[in-house]
Structure 1
Amino acid sequence: MNFLDYAIIVVYLVGLLFMGFLLKNQNDKQDYFLGGRTLGWKPLSLSIMATQLSAISFVSAPAFVGLREGGGLIWLSYELAVPIAMLLLLWKVLPRLYNAGVVSVYDYLEGRFNRSTRLLLSFVFQMSRSFATAIMIYAVSIILQGTIGLAYWQSILLIGCVTVVYSLQGGMKAVVYGDALQMVLIVLGTAACLGFALYHIGGVQIFLDGVDPARLQAVNFSSFGINGEGFGFWPMLFGGVVLYASYYGCDQSEAQRLLSAKNQHDLKKMVMAATFMRFPVTLLYCMSGLVIGTLVLTTPSLLAQIPADKPDWMMPIFIVNYMPNGVIGLLLVAILAAAMSSLSSAVNSLSAVSVEDYCRLKDAKLSNEQYLVAARYMGIFWGVVTLGLSFFAGNIAPTVIEAINKIGSLFYGPILAIFTLGLLIKRVNGTHASIGLVSGVFINVCVWQFAPNIFWFWWNLIGFLSTAGVGILTSFTFNLEAAKQDSDDTKALRSLSLRDASLMILWFIFIVAIAVTIPFVL
């Protein structure tokens, strides 16, 4: 690190603050939380990807592929379920939520069930999202410690203060435009790492000669994930469909962007774009990890700098040792950008849910000015909570990217099941749904604690089935209140054409084909 690197970082951070200042004028909650539904589908698509493919992916996915024991390109199996999940969302869930005109997706549940169901699910979201974001911040602290020597608390202040300030000033517009820029930076940074790694290892042929063949397997059809095995085709497919459908459709941090689309046509474009762009970016992450991991494993002096139990240090150590000045600064900007994308998205979505919950709970009618003040105060609150939780985020799984998905898998299945019951099962009311939600989360926690041989990706499907099953069963057992009827908007169901569905299915087949053939190509 030299003056040029630090100058690049400072200029970027000041630029973000300036952008937040330029976008600070909002008139109401639609402006602040949905960008007034004036944002184009292209920046919104990049924002969706930036929130998902964040600093966690930049740091920890390559570490899993290149260095973690038992890791490798099997990480690509995470992508198998994305097209199928997006297909299901476009068919039923997203058009209905969009047409409801809500700021918080949990508003829909209150209209369909009751207030207690809405508040319960909102609480589950707030706890899971704040802790998941804390894990992301922890990942970035690893990089800043390994590159510029910042203490952990200094990393927190740097990331937290700048992010909270610009996201509170500019609202959803600042979040989306910041995310779009950050997505571009993180992809370029990963490509730079891959190129320099190939150069320092001696070229493509030297890499191919030195790569561990065991790390080339990208799909495992023999593992069912029930005997202590992981990352098999079937748990990644069935568990993945539930995870991604819940994340993109029922998690406020992602769904809020979809609700910000100008119209249903743009909504469909956003989802299709995110679907088709995810796999190439993830493949880029994985290939950079494979090359850098091969360089590390064949260079004892470099391997010695990485703690044996902390493979996530691989990327920052590589950056410091092999990247030129100026490029180091740009890479750190990319990493900071990814962390800030995750934090700004979390702060904005948590604030949206909290203020809406408060208004419902107190039956408060806030003026536009009062609403925006409350939103900013809640943003500060959630920023502090998330940054505080990050101090406890380091001991859940061997890599932070596994930790964050593990936490999400406890809740994503039950959350998706509640929305599914609301959309499809008319007889289920709020009491049935609430009992199902609590039961589904409880069963997942029991599986975690008492059935460790079941791969955690199955928790998504287990939570979904148990929540839906208990909700339906209790609807036949007792009925304390009448179920509210949800109007069936047939126009919403036409947003997915046969052509769109065919493209999604073909993309799924393409991803599987690429994953299967990689070991033979390399």
Structure 2
Amino acid sequence: MSTATLLLSFVFVYFIGLLIISYFTSRNADNQSFFIGNRKSKWWLVAFGMIGTSLSGVTFISVPGTVGKMTEGAYKFGGFEYYMLVIGFFIGYFIVAFVLLPLYYKMNLTSIYTYLGKRFNVEAHKIGSLFFIVSRSIGATARLFLVVNVLQIFLLSDLGVPFWVTSAVILIMVLLYTYEGGVKTIVITDTLQTSFMILSLIACITYILMHLNLSAGQAYDILAKKDYTHILNIDFHSKTFFLKTIFGGMFITIAMTGLDQEMMQKNISVDNLHNSKKNMLTFAGTLLLVNFAFLFLGGLLYLFAQSNGAEYGQIADAVSGKASNIFGFKDAAGNISNMMGDDLFPALSLNGYFPIFIAVIFIIGLISALFPSADGALTAVTSSTCVDLLNLNDDTIRTEKQKKSLRMKIHLGFTILFFVLIMIFKAIDDKSIVYLIMEIAGYTYGPLLGLFAFGILTKFKINKKYGILAVTILAPVLTYLINYFVTQNSTYKIGVELIIIDGLLTFIGLWLIREKDKFKIG
């Protein structure tokens, strides 16, 4: 049996396990099970499972690759600079827990965008949902593309399987185990997948330390001497200047977690607000540790690469199958100065540099990173379409049987859409997908940030027909123009604060079209 066939057999067994879980969790499932798990989810299960959803294949592959000195990519993180973004995430989770969660539980929401309808009008409700659907569809498929592409390059191409077949099969897998149970199922499956991802992380770190005959402390000291552990970028003009990275990370979390139906539908599936807060804060603290471990792993991968051929500036190129500088040439200090971040971890794991058992662990971890980002997104966009756009919760319009049938058709439709988007990302083939996702999020989540902020921080009504639509379309356009102008005409570079600019412009636009009358949610 070839290595590729062996690794694929583990993927198949893993998927069978997910189907078994789905079978038991989806029995007697109804629409409320699919949307919010009947509000019976255990907070500790949700907290642990959300780690996998938050990390996804981007963290598993791209974050370790950011440790090297990047010469390409939108934000050019180096060393442990990415951790400043994680600190921002951590602060953002507290705001979500103590500002947004109480609001959602007080209003007993199934979809968080129902708030916009009650606070403003139907137009705001639909627009909020549409921005989420667009944002999550693009973000989820970008993450999916990253993982599918790794499987394709390192395993399936050798077996003659086309990329489109790989993508279609994986999406069908996700469709099958989420089709009935929805949130009720993914709360359990995400917990399992998070467990495998973290076990893979620990196993890979342990193996490399043993191979290099180093303790964790000794390895960290070596990384520090090579300047791989620096955290603070104090260059104000840089896209990753530490203060704007922290603030950008905070607002990214508020928008991409607190204003995101995928993430919040799991939180509001918990039985009460107190437990939901415990879930969010436990999740936030755990992410600090896990992200640091992924960065440490990234540093170890570079040490391992240098000890196995990279010191000669040449290592086997796992993408093309021939020798090339995918790790690049060392600079005067002995550091690798150029690399393709997303290829680093899979190239070492699946191209013969690690033993077969580590390759198996990597594949299991990778698949565990893939499914949580796909299943939750597919369920969430289906839920938002059903509840927000089609008003499927209204029992006076359709019977339960009709609602379930329509929901399943929408679920299938989004699976097809995800496939199309993955093929588009394949055509783009961006090597720094983590940064592309952040930039897209700045434009698509910014209007949501501005809408919710205006609703929570002010009491003004907005009654102008199509006023909210005009503002939420104009704000991202202006944000893009500002970003382009600043980039072309100054040394200052806009980075993760893009979402703040977009949200602020949305807020200002709403302020300009506000009514004199005040509004209060009862």
TM-score normalised by L of structure 1: 0.85
Contact 2:129 2:389 in 1 (8 A): no
- Equivalent residue, structure 2, for 1:455: 494
Mapping of residues 430-445 of structure 1, within 5 Å: 431=464, 433-445=468-480
Alignment check: 8 A CA contact 2:34 2:180 kept: no
Mind listing any 5+ residue stretches in structure 2 that lack a counterpart? Answer: 320-325, 327-338
Report deviation, 1:202.
4.2
Match of 2:520 among 485, 489, 494: 485
> Which of residues 454, 459, 476 is equivalent to 1:426?
459
Q: CA distance change for structure 1 residues 388 and 275 in 2, over 3 Å: closer, same or farther? A: same
- Whether the 8 Å contact between 1:43 and 1:177 is mirrored in structure 2 is yes
Moved more, 90-99 or 435-444: 435-444
**Which residue identity does 1:87 align to in structure 2?**
F
Task: Indicate the residue corresponding to 2:61 in structure 1.
Answer: 59
Q: Relative to structure 1, is the Cα distance of residues 428 and 439 closer, same or farther in structure 2, using a 3 angstrom cutoff?
A: farther
Q: 1:354 corresponds to which residue?
A: 385
Residue of 400, 403, 406 corresponding to 1:374: 406
Give distance in 1, aligned partners of 2:219 and 2:514: 63
Q: Could you say what secondary structure the match of 1:170 adopts?
A: coil
Shift of 1:83: 3.2
Preserved CA contact (<8 Å) 1:106 1:122 = yes
Where 2:227 maps in the other structure, the secondary structure is helix
Shift of 1:411: 2.5
Give 1:37's aligned residue. Answer: 39
Distance (Å, rounded) in 2 between the aligned partners of 1:242 and 1:131: 19
Do the aligned residues in 2 keep the contact of 1:32 with 1:172 (CA within 8 Å)? Answer: yes
1:306-344 CA-partner distances (Å, limit 9, x unpaired): 564733111111112233334422321221121111110
Count residues in correspondence: 479
Query: How far has the Cα of 1:76 moved from its partner?
Result: 0.8
Contact 1:47 1:180 in 2 (8 A): yes
Report the CA distance between 1:217 and its aligned residue: 1.0
Q: Which stretch shifts more, 150-159 or 100-109?
A: 150-159
CA distance in 2, matches of 1:442, 1:396: 25
Q: Check conservation: 1:5, 1:325, Cα contact below 8 A.
A: no
Structure-1 residue corresponding to 2:364: 333
Task: Name the SS of the counterpart of 2:27 in structure 1.
Answer: coil
- CA gap 1:211/1:314 in 2 versus in 1, 3 angstroms: farther
| Pairwise CA distance, 1:241 | 1.8
Tell me the distance in 1 between the aligned counterparts of 2:67 and 2:35: 37
What's the Cα RMSD here? Answer: 2.5
Per the alignment, do residues 376 and 483 of structure 1 end up closer, same or farther by CA in structure 2, a change over 3 Å counting? farther
Tell whether 2:178 aligns with 1:167: yes
Distance 1:405 1:129 in 2: 12
Given that 2:98 and 2:277 are in contact with CA atoms closer than 8 Å, whether structure 1 keeps it comes out as no
Secondary structure at the residue paired with 1:322? coil
The answer on 1:310 being equivalent to 2:312 is no
Judged with a 3 Å threshold, the aligned counterparts in structure 2 of structure 1 residues 26 and 388 are, in CA distance, closer, same or farther, namely farther
Q: Which runs of 5+ in 1 are unaligned?
A: 488-522
2:235 corresponding residue in structure 1: 223
Contact 2:126 2:388 in 1 (8 A): yes
How many Å apart are 1:82 and its aligned residue? 2.5
AA matched with 1:141: V
Matches of 2:407 and 2:289, distance apart in 1: 36
CA, structure 1 residues 209+243, in 2 after alignment: closer, same or farther (shift >3 Å)?
closer
Distance 1:142 1:13 in 2: 18
Task: Encode CA deviations 1:87-132: one digit per residue, 9 max, x unaligned.
Answer: 2223322111122122211111111111111111211111111111
SS at match of 1:429: coil
Match of 1:416 in 2: 449
Q: Which residue type is aligned with residue 412 of structure 1?
A: Y
Equivalent position amino acid for 2:485 in 1: F
What TM-score does the superposition give when structure 2 sets the normalisation length? 0.85
The yes-or-no answer on 1:323 pairing with 2:354 is yes
Cα distance change of structure 1 residues 260 and 65 upon mapping to structure 2, 3 Å threshold:
same
- Structure with bigger helix share is 1
Query: What is the Cα deviation at residue 354 of structure 1?
Result: 0.6
For residues 398 and 304 of structure 2, what CA distance do their matches in structure 1 show?
58
1:106 paired to 2:113: yes
1:483 Cα deviation (Å)? Answer: 5.9
Give aligned-pair identity as a percent.
Answer: 21
Is 1:237 the counterpart of 2:270 in the alignment? no
* Equivalent runs, 1:19-98 vs 2, <5 Å: 19-66=21-68, 68-69=70-71, 70=76, 71-98=78-105
- Within 1, Cα distance between the matches of 2:389 and 2:273? 29
Map of 2:126 onto structure 1: 119
Contact kept, 8 Å, 1:109 with 1:118, in 2: the verdict is yes
Counterpart of 1:18? Answer: 20
Give the residue type in structure 2 aligned to 1:14.
Answer: I
- Partner Cα distance (1:173, 1:200) in 2: 42
Is the partner of 1:417 in helix, strand or coil?
helix
Q: Match of 1:455, SS?
A: coil
Residue 19 of structure 1 aligns with an amino acid whose one-letter code is: I
Alpha-carbon distance in 2 for matches of 1:107, 1:206: 50
The question of whether the paired residues in 2 share the 8 Å contact of 1:135 and 1:400 is answered with: yes
SS at match of 2:317: coil
Q: Is 1:239–1:460's contact at 8 Å kept on the other side of the alignment?
A: yes
Distance 2:27 2:476 in 1: 40
Mapped to 2, the partners of 1:459 and 1:206 lie a distance apart of: 36
Contact 1:242/1:460 (8 A) holds in 2: yes
